[in-house]
Amino acid sequence: MSSNSTTRPKLTVVVMTRNAAHLIADCLTSAAFADEMLVLDSGSTDGTIELAEKLGARVVVDPLWRGFGPQRQHAQTLVSHDWIFWLDSDERITPALRASIELALTTSAPTQAWQVNRLTDFFGRYIRHSGWYPDWVVRLHHRHHYRYNDAPVHEAIEVPRQQLSSLSGELLHHTSERLDEYLNKSTRYAITWGEARAAKGKRVTVAGVALRPLWTFLRKYLLQRGFLDGGHGLLLAIQSSHYTFTKYFALWVAQQRRQR
């Protein structure tokens, strides 16, 4: 753990996992400077738990899945230290980001939170356009002042603008190492999103299901300059339009079910 732990507030890095054995070692190695690495595991069967413990993490196994927002809220109750940095199993803290985190800990008031710029790899290329970059996400905060919202997917920490600062360095996001895993996760997120929207009374027409993916493609590839990401940008725009179709198709299916 960090050699600076006696000169700065202590930090817990929190990772939520399930069957992430192929990712967890690089993830936790990048976070080894923290005073505590907490892994909240939802019931892995692939050796994730054993690997995480071997790398020095404190692992809590809880097979009850609450949705991403509530799951993160639960994880926050388990940390040992006041400052939390949230890290996904497919993310890596760069050395520059680590230095920025440690500096922030020595200067931050408890009411201050910090966002980090995430750089995502899409099947072999880091994407710097297409609406994927810059990708600022709030990840460092004091446990007594902020927490994630209740969203089942695409959860977020809501921080007043005047209390939010930016870390330097980048958070590397390797979300697409395996095509089957990528597509399965994308579909799972889309269906969860659609069902949650339907439960709130949201509706979509057949025309909306058909046309929204086209708009997504045009926005990603042209307006957000995905063409500058080369062939990866073209395929990303197509995949994003498919994700949009699945989201709104899931919403349409859920509303049909509720009507019956």
Distance (Å, whole) CA 96 – CA 110: 23
Percentage, residues of the chain above pLDDT 90: 92
Q: Given pLDDT bands bounded at 50, 70 and 90, which one contains residue 6?
A: low
Distance (Å, whole) CA 34 – CA 97: 13
**Can you give the chain as a three-state secondary structure string?**
CCCCCCCCCCEEEEEEECCCHHHHHHHHHHCCCCCEEEEEECCCCCCHHHHHHHCCCEEEECCCCCCHHHHHHHHHCCCCCCEEEECCCCEEECHHHHHHHHHHHHHCCCCCEEEEEEEEECCCCECCCCCCCCCEEEEEEECCCCCECCCCCCCCECCCHHHEEEEEEEEEEECCCCHHHHHHHHHHHHHHHHHHHHHCCCCCCHHHHHHHHHHHHHHHHHHCCHHHHHHHHHHHHHHHHHHHHHHHHHHHHHHHHHHC
Residue type, 216: T
Averaged pLDDT for residues 89-110: 97
Distance (Å, whole) CA 39 – CA 49: 8
Q: Are 182 and 175 in contact (CB under 8 A)?
A: yes
Delimit the domains of the chain by residue range: 11-174, 179-259
Q: Given pLDDT bands bounded at 50, 70 and 90, which one contains residue 5?
A: very low
Q: Given pLDDT bands bounded at 50, 70 and 90, which one contains residue 3?
A: very low
**Homologous superfamily of 11-174 in CATH?**
Spore Coat Polysaccharide Biosynthesis Protein SpsA; Chain A (3.90.550.10)
Q: Are 82 and 54 in contact (CB under 8 A)?
A: no
CA distances, 71 to each of 16, 51, 60, 228 (Å):
8, 22, 12, 37
- At 46 the pLDDT is 96
Does residue 177 surpass a pLDDT of 90? no
Q: Are 140 and 116 in contact (CB under 8 A)?
A: yes
Q: What is the mean pLDDT of the chain?
A: 95
- At 166 the pLDDT is 98
The angle subtended at Cα 105 by Cα 162 and Cα 81, nearest 5°, is 105
Does residue 1 surpass a pLDDT of 70? no
Distance (Å, whole) CA 84 – CA 70: 16
Structure tokens at 83: 């400052």
Does residue 124 surpass a pLDDT of 50? yes
Give the count of alpha carbons within 13 A of 220, CB side only: 23
pTM over 0.95: no
Q: Are 197 and 251 in contact (CB under 8 A)?
A: yes
